[in-house]
C-alpha cells in the first residue's frame, strides 16, 4: 500500500478529536457570508443579521430534512419573521464595517425546541442526530491531482454536519480497505472510514464514496456524488451526499412502537456501561428494562420506533452492535 503522510493535517485531526466533533450541535449553522448596505452602519448590521437568520434557517432545513419531504410540505416558506422566531443567537466570525456597509461571516444558533415545533406543524420528518465520526480518506483516479484533492479536504471542516469526519493525515495512492486505516481510525477516535474517490469525467468531477468498517469484508459502496464543476464543489457535494445517506437511513416515518427483548454481552464493566448509555441516548428507544445482570451479560427489554435497521444504525454510532440471532437480538460493544 503506497502511503504518503501529510503532517500538516495532523493538527486539524487532533483539533477535531479534542473538540468532540462527533457530538457537535447540529442546530448551529456557521460560515454564512453576508454583505448588506443601508443608510448607516447600525441598520446595515441589523440587515445583515436578518439575512443571516433567513439563510441559516434554510440551510438548517436542508441539513435536517430531505428534499422530497420539503417538497411535499405545502406553503413551506421561511421569511424574516419565521427565521427570527427560530433563531436563538447570531455570532460574528468575521466582520468589516463602513458608514453604510456591513460585510461579515456569521454563525446562527437555532433554538432546538422552536425548530422541532416548526417542523411538526408542517409534518416534516427530520433527523438531528449525527452519524458516527469517520476518518475521511481522499482517493483519486486518473485526471485528478491527489495533492489538490487532499488539500481541499484539509482546508476547512464543519463539525456540526450530520456526517462528521476527520481528514486522514495520509494520502493513499491505491484503494484502501479497513486493514489499511484501522490504526488511524482508532487514533482519531473515529468508528469507521469513508473513502472519497474523485474522478474526472469529461469536464465534470464525480466522487465515489465507500464505507469502511471492521465488520465489513471489503469496501461498501455508498453511491456516487456529482457532477460538479470544481473539486471545491465536489467536496461540499460529497458532504451533503453523506448527510443524505444518513438521513435516508434514519428518518422515522412509521407510526407506533415495537417491543423487543435482547441479550447484552460484554467483557467488562466498561462494555456494559457503553450499552446502557447507547440505549439511554437513543432517540428511537424507550422504556428500557434491565431484567437480569451478570458479570458477562444482561437481559434487557425495550420498545423502539422505526425499522430495525434504523435502530441498528443509530446504536452503531454509539459504539454498540445490534445483531439478530436465532433466539432473538443481541447487543455488544464495538471491539477495535
pLDDT of residue 9: 40
How many C-beta atoms surround the C-beta of residue 79 within 10 A?
9
Q: Are 275 and 281 in contact (CB under 8 A)?
A: no
Rounded distance, CA 320 to CA 336, Å?
12
Rounded distance, CA 159 to CA 133, Å?
10
Here the cell at position 331 is: 447487543
pLDDT of residue 99: 96
pLDDT of residue 286: 87
Scan for cell 433563531, then name that residue. 87
Q: How does strand 170-172 pair with strand 3-5? A: antiparallel
In the chain (336 residues long), the average pLDDT of successive 10-residue segments reads: 46 42 80 96 97 98 92 88 97 96 97 94 89 92 90 82 89 84 90 94 96 89 96 95 90 77 91 91 87 89 86 85 85 79
Whether the model pTM is above 0.85: no
Residues 6+ apart with CB under 8 A from 65: 119, 124, 125, 126, 127, 247
Rounded distance, CA 92 to CA 104, Å?
7
CA end-to-end span of the chain, whole Å?
21
Q: Strand locations in 28-69, DSSP E?
A: 28-37
Amino acid at each position: 500500500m503506497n502511503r504518503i503522510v501529510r503532517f500538516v493535517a495532523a493538527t486539524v485531526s487532533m483539533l477535531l478529536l479534542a473538540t468532540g466533533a462527533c457530538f457537535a450541535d447540529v442546530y448551529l449553522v456557521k460560515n454564512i457570508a453576508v454583505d448588506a448596505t443601508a443608510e448607516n452602519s447600525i441598520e446595515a448590521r441589523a440587515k445583515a443579521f436578518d439575512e443571516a437568520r433567513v439563510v441559516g434557517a434554510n440551510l438548517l432545513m436542508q441539513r435536517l430534512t430531505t428534499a422530497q419531504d420539503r417538497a411535499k410540505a405545502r406553503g413551506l416558506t421561511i421569511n424574516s419573521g419565521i427565521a427570527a422566531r427560530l433563531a436563538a443567537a447570531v455570532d460574528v466570525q468575521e466582520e468589516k464595517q463602513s458608514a453604510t456597509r456591513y460585510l461579515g461571516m456569521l454563525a446562527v444558533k437555532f433554538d432546538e425546541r422552536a425548530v422541532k415545533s416548526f417542523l411538526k406543524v408542517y409534518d416534516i420528518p427530520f433527523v438531528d442526530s449525527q452519524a458516527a465520526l469517520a476518518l475521511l480518506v481522499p482517493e483519486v483516479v486518473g485526471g485528478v491531482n491527489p495533492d489538490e484533492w487532499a488539500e481541499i479536504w484539509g482546508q476547512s471542516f464543519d463539525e456540526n454536519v450530520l456526517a462528521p469526519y476527520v481528514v486522514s493525515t495520509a494520502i493513499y495512492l491505491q484503494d484502501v480497505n479497513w486493514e489499511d486505516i484501522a490504526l488511524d481510525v482508532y487514533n482519531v477516535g473515529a468508528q469507521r472510514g469513508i473513502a472519497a474517490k474523485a474522478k474526472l469525467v469529461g469536464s465534470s468531477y464525480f466522487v465515489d464514496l465507500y464505507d469502511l468498517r471492521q465488520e465489513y469484508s471489503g469496501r461498501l459502496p455508498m453511491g456516487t456524488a456529482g457532477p460538479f464543476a470544481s473539486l471545491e464543489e465536489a467536496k461540499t457535494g460529497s458532504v451533503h451526499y453523506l448527510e443524505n445517506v444518513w438521513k435516508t437511513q434514519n428518518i422515522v416515518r412509521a407510526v407506533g412502537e415495537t417491543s423487543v427483548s435482547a441479550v447484552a454481552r460484554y467483557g467488562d464493566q466498561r462494555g456494559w456501561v457503553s450499552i446502557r448509555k447507547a440505549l439511554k441516548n437513543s432517540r428511537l428507544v424507550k422504556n428500557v428494562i434491565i431484567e437480569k445482570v451478570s458479570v458477562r451479560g444482561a437481559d434487557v427489554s425495550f420498545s423502539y420506533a422505526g425499522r430495525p435497521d434504523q435502530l441498528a444504525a443509530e446504536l452503531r454510532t454509539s459504539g454498540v452492535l445490534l445483531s439478530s440471532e436465532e433466539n432473538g437480538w443481541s447487543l455488544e460493544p464495538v471491539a477495535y
